[in-house]
């Protein structure tokens, strides 16, 4: 399973229609499911970003297509971050070259 964290900021239009955010979120979750993407969690936040979501799919391109469609609608500006589990990052780190790392570069 491939996971991404999605950070979103409301656009001016999205902020002006904040009262519809829960309904838009329900529609987004339905669209995600139809595309083969699971919204594992979603939280509205205070601070630099207005919401954070975890998206998961077996097909990375489906996640990217979903987020492009979300951006196209104009209510939010998305920032997509690839997320790795502990097991995934451990597997990646095992592939590092065995030569010592020169920290003076």
Domain locations in the chain as residue ranges: 2-91
- Span 46-69, mean pLDDT? 98
Q: What is the pLDDT of residues 18-51, one digit of tens each?
A: 999 999 999 999 999 999 999 999 999 999 999 9
- Span 43-60, mean pLDDT? 98
Report the CATH architecture of 2-91: 2-Layer Sandwich (3.30)
Q: How far is CA 45 from the centre of its chain?
A: 14
CB neighbour class for 78 (10 Å; exposed up to 12, middle 13-18, buried from 19): middle
pLDDT of 67 over the 90 cut: yes
pLDDT of 100 over the 70 cut: no
pTM of the model as a whole: 0.87
């Amino acid at each position: 399973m491939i996971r991404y964290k999605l950070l979103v900021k409301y656009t001016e239009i999205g902020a002006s229609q904040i009262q519809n955010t829960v309904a838009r979120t329900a529609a987004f979750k339905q669209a995600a499911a139809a595309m083969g993407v699971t919204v594992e969690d979603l939280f509205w936040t205070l601070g630099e970003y207005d919401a954070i979501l975890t998206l998961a799919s077996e097909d990375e391109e489906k996640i990217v297509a979903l987020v492009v469609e979300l951006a196209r609608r104009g209510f939010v500006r998305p920032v997509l971050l690839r997320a790795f589990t502990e097991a995934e990052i451990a597997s990646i780190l095992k592939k590092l070259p065995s030569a010592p790392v020169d920290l003076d570069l």
